[in-house]
Amino acid sequence: MKIICIGRNYTEHIEELANERPEEPVVFIKPDSAILPKEQDFYIPDFSKDVHYEVEVLVKIKKVGKHISEKFAHNYYDEIGLGIDFTARDLQSKLKEKGLPWEKAKGFDGAAVIGEWLPKTSFKDLNNINFSLLKNEREVQKGNTGLMLWKIDELVSYVSQFFMLKKGDVIFTGTPAGVGRIEANDYLSGVLEGRELFHLKVK
């Protein structure tokens, strides 16, 4: 399986990092080795002194698809989740300055947290899902899928124009404003529509 991530999909997050607003989705890939095993602590890697949390709504692909029309995109997923795209911001900044790819800053071991999955039928409107991240029991990020520049079905369709989607693939749909640095002993938990879908400790 592959992890397909969308960058710059919330206006306020674009502004907080002083990035340009893209004309089309920004796409990058994390390897499956980036998935943090269930119930395991997250260890800050030695090569970074500025790892940031980025909470995101996730979509799990349920069947093979390519060149998917937006109007049929809903047929390719049944589950919605929540996760974290951990980012070595100091390393990413250096790579961006040189015009180099971000993989080392985004795809390192443990950099993808995938929480519990929920059936999409449990949501009245996929374009109105509230979610948040708590650090040490204090809310640090809050978002709603209605604020996405590109909605879930648009993303599934767009990504499938470049990559064949396969059963088990996961799409990280982008993070809202409020990203920030983690430190050892932080406790992170992710909430989707009032339900905690993951929690972890930082080492």
Q: Model confidence over 133-165: pLDDT tens digits?
A: 999 999 999 999 999 999 999 999 999 999 999
Q: Tell me the residue ranges of DSSP E strands in 71-129.
A: 77-85, 87-88, 112-114, 118-119
Closest-CA residue to 179 (of 23, 9, 26): 9
Residue corresponding to tokens 């990092």:
17
Two tokens, residue 130 = 């509230």
* pTM: predicted TM-score of the whole model, two decimal places: 0.95
CA–CA dist 192, 129 (Å, integer): 7
Please state whether beta strands 112-114 and 77-85 pair in parallel, antiparallel, or not at all (unpaired). antiparallel
Q: What angle do CA 14, 16, 19 make, to 5 degrees?
A: 40
For range 58-73, the mean pLDDT: 98
Kindly report the average pLDDT of the chain as a whole number: 95
* pLDDT tens track for 173-199: 999 999 999 999 999 999 999 999 999
Query: Could you report how far apart the first and last alpha carbons of the chain are, in Å?
Result: 27
Tell me what percent of the chain is helix, strand and coil, each rounded to the nearest 5. 20, 35, 40
CA neighbours closer than 13 Å in the CB half-sphere of residue 136: 7
Q: What is the CA radius of gyration of the chain?
A: 16
- pLDDT of 107 above 60: yes
pLDDT of residue 56: 98
What six digits make up the tokens of 200? Answer: 């972890």
